[in-house]
């Protein structure tokens, strides 16, 4: 995938910057997009007098009573994600309080009230979304789909997930990123990426998340191995064994980077169905 758009590398870069500089330009559907919204967000979450250069030096009411900084990433999205007339705004943030396990940040949840006024509903630490898109929901409302990634011990994992909002009996709204597609790389751990021999499709990385051709669909670019390539690699696992720093794990076979295919897939959120589109296979 493109080096400059890799979600985990983006998060690592953001984490290395001071909070005051983390006000990155986001995806075309990123949030918040309007300067008044940014000001309203910071006013809602920051203690008095703690806004500096477009970031929050000390947030108000952070979970567990911690004194935490907040930097807005420009990631997220807005829509009627509960299917009601109420619009909700999801805003990505970074914080020095959050560990690597939480990708150094999370998301803020707001409701859009009368005359466009934002009401802060809470923090969602760990939901560090990137590359978000909003697509129409059948029957009314919208869906929010984002990417998220993790890196550790030489392994890289990416997911394409849907931000699902839940409202309890007391009216409290929370959010979670539910996985729809997953990709993984093991080059940093084993010296080469591997395929699992009992899988029919393996993704190594995602990029270019966008709205799909129909409501409730999204498209995503991917590096991947299909069933035929996996069968070919697993039939002779010793063929690529020298690519890794050690023999491939059981029921796996290494894949050379030139063997992976690249293509754009369509995913139907309502049916949880994946369809290939405009696929370009690499030499095997």
Which residue range is the domain that position 75 belongs to?
Answer: 1-185
β-pairing verdict for 273-280 and 261-268: antiparallel
Do 92 and 196 reside in the same domain of the chain? no
At 9-24, the pLDDT tens digits run 444 433 333 333 333 3
Do 150 and 29 reside in the same domain of the chain? yes
Q: What pLDDT, on a 0 to 100 scale, did the predictor assign at position 280?
A: 52
Whether pLDDT at 80 is above 80: yes
Domain stops at, among 185, 201, 225? 185
Q: What pLDDT, on a 0 to 100 scale, did the predictor assign at position 18?
A: 35
Whether pLDDT at 281 is above 90: no
Average pLDDT of the chain, as a whole number: 86
Whether pLDDT at 61 is above 90: yes
Do 215 and 280 reside in the same domain of the chain? yes
Cβ-contact 220, 181 below 8 angstroms: yes
Bigger pLDDT: 8 vs 50 = 50
CA–CA distance, 195 with 260 (Å, rounded to integer):
10
Do 255 and 174 reside in the same domain of the chain? no
At 141-186, the pLDDT tens digits run 999 999 999 888 888 999 999 999 999 999 999 999 999 999 999 9
- The token duo for 281 is 């296979």
DSSP string, 148-199: EEEEETTEEEEEEEEEEEEE-TT--EEEEEEEEEEEEE-HHHHSSEEEETT-
The model's confidence at residue 198, banded by pLDDT at 50, 70 and 90, is very high
Using DSSP, state whether 249 is helix, strand or coil: coil
Do 174 and 199 reside in the same domain of the chain? no
DSSP string, 65-116: G----BEEEEEEEEE-TTSSS-EEEEEEEE-TTS-GGGTTEEEEEEEE-GGG
Do 116 and 245 reside in the same domain of the chain? no
**pTM (2 decimals)?**
0.83
Mean pLDDT of 201-227: 95
Name the maximum alpha-carbon separation found in the chain: 65
- The token duo for 94 is 């970074």
Do 4 and 135 reside in the same domain of the chain? yes
Q: What pLDDT, on a 0 to 100 scale, did the predictor assign at position 84?
A: 81
**Of the candidates 191, 219, 214, 237, the residue with the CA atom closest to the CA atom of residue 277:** 219
Q: What pLDDT, on a 0 to 100 scale, did the predictor assign at position 153?
A: 84
Whether pLDDT at 29 is above 60: no
β-pairing verdict for 130-136 and 55-56: unpaired
Domain stops at, among 168, 185, 202? 185
Instruction: Report how far Cα 124 is from the mean position of its chain's Cα atoms.
Output: 14
**Total domains, the chain:** 2
Domain stops at, among 135, 152, 185? 185
Do 136 and 235 reside in the same domain of the chain? no
Bigger pLDDT: 27 vs 245 = 245
CA–CA distance, 164 with 145 (Å, rounded to integer):
9
Mean pLDDT of 94-99: 95
Q: What pLDDT, on a 0 to 100 scale, did the predictor assign at position 277?
A: 61
Name the burial class of residue 23, with classes exposed (0-12), middle (13-18) and buried (19+) by CB atoms within 10 angstroms of its CB: middle
Whether pLDDT at 25 is above 80: no
CA–CA distance, 128 with 216 (Å, rounded to integer):
22
Q: What pLDDT, on a 0 to 100 scale, did the predictor assign at position 10?
A: 42
Whether pLDDT at 275 is above 90: no
Which range in 32-41, 125-134, 245-254 is most confidently predicted, on average pLDDT? 125-134
Do 141 and 276 reside in the same domain of the chain? no
Do 267 and 134 reside in the same domain of the chain? no
Do 134 and 103 reside in the same domain of the chain? yes
């Amino acid at each position: 995938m493109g080096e400059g758009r890799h979600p985990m590398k983006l998060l690592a870069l953001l984490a290395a910057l001071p909070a005051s500089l983390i006000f990155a330009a986001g995806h075309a559907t990123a949030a918040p997009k309007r300067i008044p919204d940014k000001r309203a967000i910071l006013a809602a979450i920051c203690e008095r007098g703690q806004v500096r250069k477009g970031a929050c030096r000390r947030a108000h009411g952070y979970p567990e009573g911690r004194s935490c900084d907040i930097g807005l990433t420009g990631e997220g999205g807005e829509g009627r994600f509960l299917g009601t007339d109420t619009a909700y705004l999801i805003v990505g943030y970074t914080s020095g309080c959050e560990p690597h396990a939480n990708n150094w940040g999370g998301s803020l949840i707001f409701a859009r009230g009368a005359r466009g006024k934002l009401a802060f509903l809470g923090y969602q630490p760990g939901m560090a979304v990137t590359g978000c898109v909003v697509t129409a929901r059948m029957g009314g409302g919208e869906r929010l789909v984002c990417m998220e990634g993790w890196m550790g011990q030489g392994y890289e994992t990416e997911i394409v997930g849907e931000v699902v909002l839940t409202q309890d009996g007391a009216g409290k709204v929370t959010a979670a990123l539910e996985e729809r597609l997953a990709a993984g790389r093991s080059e940093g751990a084993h010296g080469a990426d591997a395929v699992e021999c009992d899988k029919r499709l393996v993704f190594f990385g995602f990029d270019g998340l966008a709205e799909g051709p129909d409501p409730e669909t999204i498209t995503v670019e991917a590096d991947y191995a299909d069933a035929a390539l996996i069968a070919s690699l697993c039939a002779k696992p010793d063929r690529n064994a020298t690519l890794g720093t050690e023999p491939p794990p059981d029921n796996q076979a290494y894949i050379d980077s030139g063997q992976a295919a690249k293509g754009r897939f369509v995913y139907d959120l309502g049916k949880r169905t994946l369809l290939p589109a405009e696929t370009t296979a690499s030499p095997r």
